Amino acid sequence: MSRRSRLRRHQSKHTAGRVVIGGVAALLALTVLLAGGGTAVAIGLAASWLTDLPSVSDPSAFAVAQTTKIYSADGKLLANLFLENRQVVPLANISPFLQHAVVSVEDERFYKHNGFDTVGIVRAAFTNLAAGGVEEGASTITQQIVRNTVLSAERTEISYKRKVREAYLAYELEKVMSKDEILSMYLNTVYYGEGAYGAESAALTYFNKHAKDLTVAEAALLAGLPQQPSRLSPYENLEGAVARRQWVLKKMQENGYIDEAQYEEAKVEEVKLERAPNMNEEGVYAAPYFVAYVKKVLQDEFGTSLVFKGGLKVYTSLDTKMQTLAEKSVRNVLNLKTDPDAALVAIDPLTGNIKALVGGRDWKTNKFNFATQARRQPGSSFKMFTLVTALESGMPPRRMLDSSSPATIQTGGKPWVVSNAEGGGGKGYITLQAATVGSVNTAYARLAKELSPEKIVKTAKRMGITTHLEPYLSITLGSQEVTPLEMASAYGTLANQGKHFPPTAVTKVEDAGGKTIFEANPEGSQAISKEVAYAAVSIMKGVITGGTATRANIGRPAAGKTGTTQDYRDAWFVGFTPQLVCSVWMGYTPERPMRNVHGRKVFGGTWPAQIWHDFMGAALKNEPKLNFKSAASPKYTWKSEWDIPITQIPKVVGIAEAGAIAALEKAKFVPEITYAYSPTVLKGRVISQTPAAGSKAKPGDTVTLVISKGPDPNAPPPPPPPPPDTTSTPPATSTP
């Protein structure tokens, strides 16, 4: 018959009135003696104590807190989460030596009584009467279980009422549980000190071995700890722990659990203490920032009680090899105590699985998770969403944008004045592609005005940004705060042909019984079209090959975007290949300028791009060099109000340099100046222009001017004119 069946069978049989049972009657008689009252009065008093008792028929009443374990995708144990560091194991996985040692010292008549020990009660009663108080208890193992579970709220009371209630419930419990079930429950419940609850955790804490592998001497040492776990800890009081062990060994011999030879051998066995790695140090073995994020995800889904007491097995997306590379990449670049903090998030764009996550430079000194909690301005790395919005709106990569600086954008209130920074100054009209590769602020500010910030916000939300965004024009330059996790997730949409998968850290959860209670089933959504995604990728590849992030070049197809905020307070690089997307952020907390990090100002294309390069190069070292999947060009709508008409280049040959430049710039062409000597054109005037005057070109095209430097002072003088010819015949004169 199963334990649950036995519990159900007895559920209706437990009433407080059934107190006149052999063993309970003896307990009541003892109560009479201790109270000095009459038998009838004592029985009536005891009966009143047995009202409002909890039921021992409910299995949940005996549930104990168990340790939740978190594993990486490659099967490595990342962390133990617990309120009580306990790992419940079956009795078969606990050494018989420990079972016998515990019975010998805690309840040597365990296999003979029915829940409470009348002989022990009488003995304790005389001891207490002689002492004038409660000096000795008579609690059996079964009573201790009752005290620590169903009567846990009453266990601080030192009273005969509590002892009577405890004994009665112990008697009832042994009707529905076998001795092995009760002993197993006890061994998995009791506190052994050093934060270890239960035999398995105790064995790992003191000997770095499983409970089933304990020697006689080790079992005896553990069995002696629950009496005074703090005072007898062998880490703090080895002499006291060994003395207690010797006494336990003697009791085991007296009870016939070990023979003389085993006793003598165990007495002299050396104590070899060894704690399992980080067994009780915050429960975290590796990837602490990732584990902190997983803890939050679990608590949001299952609640704190189940997460820290439920003995769950949690399987995650983390790749420990990538995690090690990520931590190393950050540590190697930012290796000084005065360096800014940093965060790195790497995601598989095909599933949304988080493969690596670094939330800061040092978990021990700062547990704030910059990867998931820190919302910082992304700077120009947010231009990606404006680019995608432009492409979706029908603008082709060759669309001309005014990059002249400063740009004064009318907002309906105070004008927004934008200057170029990270990518340098624009000059005249440049293409959308050039504005992206060079990260030209003025061109993107004008573009945001044309598109509307509301459209940019919608694009960002579709692609994976979850933080609330306001539709301000400045959003295109990254003025609103987001997390590195969000940016990696959103950029992954481009890597995966426009399909977005939400970031996933937890892939599967099993309860303490091994039943799967959660399993991730990633479902992506087509956030943008394949055509738009490929067009954006094609443009953003240039950021790495010849733009603001050449440091990020890892010798394989990759794309990305740098970002630097005002006064160098935040610096980003977010980039991706077809297999992996990674965001890197750097900044101080509290915020301050990064004007001198290893001797230089920090742009997104400096140290963030370097960290990205080091991580991605190592993480993909043995992976094939994949190209991004191509797609047809989007259906560009070259609307008339967007078009830039082809115009004639004005004639500037022969006019002064300043006037020529002014004339070309007025016509929206970009003058490029060179100088040459000319014996015939006055100094400072245009000798020639290319293309020639009258040629047709688009505004933004370059016109090369050659400006006269005057005659070459080092040129040899011209030869003198030849003398007149005196031998020649004078010309004939005509006469009318």
518, with CB counted inside 10 A (0-12, 13-18, 19+), is middle
DSSP calls for 626-674: PPPPP-PPP-----TTT----EEPPP-TTSBHHHHHHHHHHTT-EEEEE
Paired tokens of 517: 């209670």
Whether omega for the bond prior to residue 406 falls within 30 degrees of 0, making it cis, is yes
- Residue among 201, 329, 380, 474 flagged as catalytic: 380
- Residue among 95, 104, 106, 404 flagged as catalytic: 106
- Cβ burial 661-692 (10 Å sphere, 16+ → b, else e): bebbeebbbbbeeeeeebeebeebbbbbbeee
Looking at the DSSP assignment, which residues form a beta bridge with residue 713? none
Q: Pairing mode, if any, of strands 499-500 and 429-431?
A: unpaired
DSSP calls for 198-253: HHHHHHHHHHSS-GGG--HHHHHHHHTSTTSTTTT-TTT-HHHHHHHHHHHHHHHH
Which CA distances in Å does 231 have to 78, 86, 144, 235, 244? 31, 21, 21, 10, 11
The CA distance from 209 to 354, in Å, is 33
How many residues can be counted in the chain? 736
- What are the φ/ψ torsions at residue 686 (nearest 5 degrees)? -75, 125
Q: Is 329 a catalytic residue?
A: no
The closest alpha carbon to 187, from 264, 101, 271, 254, belongs to 101
What is the torsional sign of CA 242, 243, 248, 249? positive
The closest alpha carbon to 200, from 90, 310, 63, belongs to 90
Q: In 3-state terms, what secondary structure has residue 355? A: strand
Q: Is 57 a catalytic residue?
A: no
Residue type, position 363, single letter: W
The CA distance from 287 to 290, in Å, is 5
The CA distance from 671 to 657, in Å, is 10
Phi-psi region at 195: left, alpha or beta (left = phi > 0; alpha = psi -120 to 50): left
The closest alpha carbon to 222, from 85, 103, 98, 89, belongs to 98
Angle made by CA atoms 601, 604, 608, in degrees to the nearest 5: 95
The CA distance from 124 to 127, in Å, is 5
Per the CB < 8 A criterion, the answer to whether 709 and 678 are in contact is yes
Looking at the DSSP assignment, which residues form a beta bridge with residue 315? 71, 508
Whether omega for the bond prior to residue 593 falls within 30 degrees of 0, making it cis, is no
Which CA distances in Å does 306 have to 296, 317, 698? 13, 21, 67
Question: SS3 breakdown of the chain: % helix, strand, coil, rounded to 5?
Answer: 40, 15, 45
**Enclosing H/E stretch for 432:** helix 432-437
Q: Pairing mode, if any, of strands 506-510 and 559-564?
A: unpaired
Per the CB < 8 A criterion, the answer to whether 673 and 702 are in contact is no
DSSP calls for 71-99: E-TTS-EEEEE-SSEE----GGGS-HHHH
Q: Which residues are catalytic?
A: 106, 380
